[in-house]
Amino acid sequence: MPARRYVPDLSRPHFFAVVSLFWVYVTVSNVLYAWGMRTTFAHVTSEPLFASWDARVIQHLLLLPCLWGAYALSLRIQWRPLWAALPLQVILALTFAALAYPAMLLAEFTVGAHDLHQEMLQHPQPMHDPLVLSLWMSSLVSFLPTYGFGLALITGIGLYTRFRRSELRRAALEREWSTARLAALRMQLSPHTLFNLLHTIRGYIEWDPKGAQAMVVQLADLLRRLLSAGERDFSPLADELQFARLYLELQQRRFVDRLTVLLPLATEISEVWVPSLILQPLIENAVVHGLAGHTGPVVVRVGVRRGEGSLVLTVANTIAGEPHLGGAGIGLRNVRERLEVQFEGRARLTCEIRDQEWVSEISLPEVHESPAPIALRAASELAPV
């Protein structure tokens, strides 16, 4: 259970720790300054012009709870609207600074160094004594900027904490959005393709029941792999090519006399990971747009090539005349979006015509182990440090 917020954007332990450390620094600085001044004036006069170190330590200990309360109220008041918040902030600062001199009087009486102050307090009206007023004003003016520095410090830390938390929330939302978008892109197997395959199976039932049964088994395996791949961001390259093989074999049964498929050999498949179903839109486009607009044969070729730390996946199909698919097709746009999300500019998709073939080529870094899912990365970013 997260720590309860004691002041805006800071937990109770953080608030007390920051204020206390700041006050320790102030205490040490004031003690060292007073000790240096006492040493300097000791050559001039024997009068104790500066309080002893133990009195100053007690003074700061007495002021610490007041500082906690003042800063807690200040951070709760904040600064908006300015016309209402500014007077309250000034009153808090002046109240704390005004308590410094009474705290010093109490501290000196505690350690027994009260000769000078007892003489002043014997005045019929101590508050009318110019010496008391001057010392009080001197203490107030000294502690007022100290209070301001501490308030600026604690406010800055609170603002940084708020900024950091908002950045983590934004990153988590971006990751969740990316996860949802990738899931939708991974699951985008054209419904028309499934309907056409089912119609093909129905036609096989009448004259080739065993062939129809084999196609049903292949289609079931294809859908099972589709659902499994849709649950993860990356898959082994061998699994992606097996999915492509199942899909293309089913399409070959539909277009027995027209479609030829060339896939890489098992020995050519590297032990690397690629985005799940990244080849599926390209292969589907190769079949659909390769066969469209003519009645001739079509060859669909899938290739894998390795470079220096990179992997190149190629899907090519023979064409008759001008291709029907441009660079702005839905399948190609989805592939580009996935590469941008998952590799942040380190992968690209290129499409062009080469020797009467429409060639789609993906270049991406080699990934030798499964990266953490995006959802898990988002959760780890939000985990408390």
Q: Is residue 383 part of a domain?
A: no
The neighbouring-strand residues paired with 361 are 314, 350
Kindly state whether residues 208 and 103 are assigned to the same domain.
Answer: no
Picking from 213, 196, 96, the residue whose alpha carbon sits closest to that of residue 151 is 96
- pLDDT (tens digit per residue) in 146-161: 999 999 998 888 888 8
CATH number at residue 275: 3.30.565.10
pLDDT for the residue 159? 85
Report DSSP state, residue 126. G
pLDDT at 374 over 70: no
pLDDT at 120 over 60: no
User: Structural domain tally of the chain?
Assistant: 2
Residues 258 and 249: their CA atoms lie apart, in Å, by 13
Q: Is residue 170 part of a domain?
A: yes
Kindly state whether residues 42 and 138 are assigned to the same domain.
Answer: yes
Top pLDDT among 377 and 134 is at 134
pLDDT for the residue 383? 46
Residue 90 burial by Cβ neighbours in a 10 Å radius (0-12, 13-18, 19+): exposed
pLDDT for the residue 306? 86
Picking from 313, 317, 329, the residue whose alpha carbon sits closest to that of residue 277 is 313
Instruction: Classify 79 as helix, strand or coil.
Output: coil
Residues 163 and 159: their CA atoms lie apart, in Å, by 6
Q: Rg (Cα) of the chain, in Å, rounded?
A: 38
Q: Is residue 138 part of a domain?
A: yes
Kindly state whether residues 174 and 207 are assigned to the same domain.
Answer: no
Top pLDDT among 293 and 59 is at 59
Q: Is residue 261 part of a domain?
A: yes
Tell me the percentage of the chain whose pLDDT exceeds 90. 24
pLDDT for the residue 271? 85
- pLDDT (tens digit per residue) in 297-355: 999 999 999 888 889 999 999 987 665 544 457 778 888 888 887 888 899 999 999 88
pLDDT for the residue 53? 82
Which residues, 6 or more positions from 210, have their beta carbon under 8 angstroms from its beta carbon?
A: none
Kindly state whether residues 163 and 209 are assigned to the same domain.
Answer: no
pLDDT for the residue 190? 58
Top pLDDT among 305 and 269 is at 305
Residues 93 and 343: their CA atoms lie apart, in Å, by 52
**Domain boundary residue among 136, 156, 180?**
180
Residues 278 and 349: their CA atoms lie apart, in Å, by 11
Kindly state whether residues 84 and 17 are assigned to the same domain.
Answer: yes
Q: Is residue 253 part of a domain?
A: yes
pLDDT for the residue 179? 67
**Domain boundary residue among 116, 150, 180?**
180
Q: Which domain holds residue 17?
A: 5-180
Token pair 């894998």 is found at: 304
pLDDT for the residue 341? 79
Pairing relation of β-strands 298-306 and 259-262? Answer: parallel
Q: Is residue 385 part of a domain?
A: no
Mean per-residue pLDDT, 53-60: 88
Instruction: Classify 360 as helix, strand or coil.
Output: strand
pLDDT for the residue 68? 94
Is residue 41 very low, low, confident or very high in pLDDT (cuts 50, 70, 90)? low
Q: Is residue 382 part of a domain?
A: no
Kindly state whether residues 13 and 154 are assigned to the same domain.
Answer: yes
Kindly state whether residues 103 and 222 are assigned to the same domain.
Answer: no
The neighbouring-strand residues paired with 362 are 313, 349
End-to-end CA distance of the chain: 14
Kindly state whether residues 173 and 198 are assigned to the same domain.
Answer: no
pLDDT for the residue 385? 39
pLDDT for the residue 380? 46
CB 300 within 8 A of CB 287: yes
- pLDDT (tens digit per residue) in 194-239: 777 788 888 788 888 888 888 898 888 888 877 776 667 788 998 8
The average confidence (pLDDT) of the chain is: 80
Residues 314 and 360: their CA atoms lie apart, in Å, by 6
Kindly state whether residues 157 and 248 are assigned to the same domain.
Answer: no
Q: Tell me phi and psi for residue 303, to 5 degrees.
A: -130, 155
**Domain boundary residue among 129, 148, 180?**
180
Residues 78 and 226: their CA atoms lie apart, in Å, by 54
Kindly state whether residues 198 and 296 are assigned to the same domain.
Answer: yes
- pLDDT (tens digit per residue) in 61-103: 999 999 999 999 988 888 888 888 899 999 999 999 999 988 9
Q: Is residue 384 part of a domain?
A: no
Kindly state whether residues 216 and 78 are assigned to the same domain.
Answer: no
Mean per-residue pLDDT, 29-37: 84
Kindly state whether residues 208 and 323 are assigned to the same domain.
Answer: yes
